[in-house]
Amino acid sequence: MMTTLPLSRSPQAAASGPSQQLYMLLREAPDRAAATGYLQRRLAEAAALPSSWSGGLHGLEEWLELRSRNRAEEFRQYQQGRQEGAPRRHFATLAQARRFLSVQAPGLLVEGAWLHSVLDHWRQAAYMPLVKLYLDYLGKGIPAANHVAQVRQVLAVQACSTWQDLEDGGFVQGAIRLALASAGEPYVAELLGYQLAVADQPAAQPSLLLELAELGIALPPPPPSDSVILNVLRAMLGEAPETAAQFMQQVELGYALGRIGLQTMPATPEDGAPQDPPVANGSAMPAIFAAPAAGITEAAEAPPVPEDPRPILRHRFDGDEHAWETISSELGLLEAQIAACGGKAEAMTLLARHMGPAVHHQPLGLMAARVYSQLFALA
């Protein structure tokens, strides 16, 4: 039979767990002190794990190349087996897929969170690829491409509402992701290593994503990032070669953070176990989410581009346009605040505050990400 970690327990017991408490706290607002304390405890655990690679940056390059080849071969063999008539390897039934989705929900609901702090460094060449990567997770402000908006839609459609009752261990990865977002600059090396670990986590496995899609559950795969992280590391280590060894040790600790508290992969179904049939048009990875997630209004959709587009930043309002006293919506207020900024740098700082893990998938955050993406493209 397929197995995952226990899904629920009593609300009283669930509320007492430190990982769940931190997760719920940081989903509402950043707390650097709480995040840093939690990260330090988890990094101590990570330090006890065996090394994944050796030899500094060169050793990492070789390790990533080997990992990529192994991953491609594993997926090739999986596809070959399926083409030859093998049943699904991970999920025999939709119910099992939904259970797995519930177990993964805390981490999936904060996809990309660990990268939020890089927005402060949008003008630095070494950080620019990381800013682009975070914008990819955010879908550049388009609801149908925002990873968290997509996950929220999937959870609603599949009625996966029990994830908040998970054991405390089910919140470890989500809490780590949010802690990296809140702790910020001192943990840039760790967040680089954590990004490398994302591709090894259960919800990123191609065969698993394919089987979910066959059952009508389309999760967004993480954007490819191995080459991005290598290029960032080369740039950062080139700027401070004297600290390269220590920096790479922190990168490896960050990778180890991505291995702590992982929820188990579904076990292979027993031979002959009844399998639910694939949904119509569900045999391949589909285009994901043509419609915005629940709770996202049409106002959050990207507006059509006028024939004579106005500047992204405006420093003057017409007498009857967007008067401060008549602004009644958050979106209108944000637009007015952007227009009143003294320049691009001030606007980028303002927008970044609305692009954190708690809000980037909401209408205000989506608008902020769209404008930020436009301004960043002009950098």
Confirm if 318 and 339 have CB atoms less than 8 A apart: no
| Predicted pLDDT of residue 319 | 47
Q: Name the strand (E) or helix (H) holding 221.
A: none
Cα–Cα dist 271/274, whole Å = 9
| Predicted pLDDT of residue 10 | 40
Burial class (CB in 10 A: 0-12, 13-18, 19+), 224: exposed
Q: Which two tokens stand for residue 211?
A: 């089987």
Q: Give 187's Cβ-side CA count (13 Å radius).
A: 31
User: 146: which residues sit within 8 A by CB, 6+ positions away?
Assistant: 137, 138, 139, 293, 360, 361, 366, 369
| Predicted pLDDT of residue 378 | 87
Tens digit of each residue's pLDDT, the chain (379 residues): 333 333 444 444 445 599 999 999 999 999 999 999 999 999 999 999 999 999 899 999 999 999 999 999 999 999 999 999 999 999 999 999 999 999 999 999 999 999 999 999 999 999 999 999 999 999 999 999 999 999 999 999 999 988 999 999 999 999 999 999 999 889 999 999 999 999 999 999 999 999 999 999 999 999 999 999 999 999 999 988 889 999 999 999 999 999 999 877 777 777 777 899 999 766 444 433 333 333 333 333 333 333 444 455 544 444 444 444 444 688 888 999 999 999 999 999 999 999 999 999 999 999 999 999 999 998 6
| Predicted pLDDT of residue 331 | 87
Cα–Cα dist 27/9, whole Å = 21
One-letter amino acid identity for 92? A
Q: Which two tokens stand for residue 369?
A: 């990400």
Q: Which two tokens stand for residue 238?
A: 């080139």
> DSSP assignment, residue 326?
G
Q: pTM value?
A: 0.85
One-letter amino acid identity for 110? V
Model confidence over 185-242: pLDDT tens digits? 899 999 999 999 999 999 999 999 999 999 999 999 999 999 999 999 999 999 888 8
| Predicted pLDDT of residue 237 | 94
Q: Which two tokens stand for residue 101?
A: 């989705």
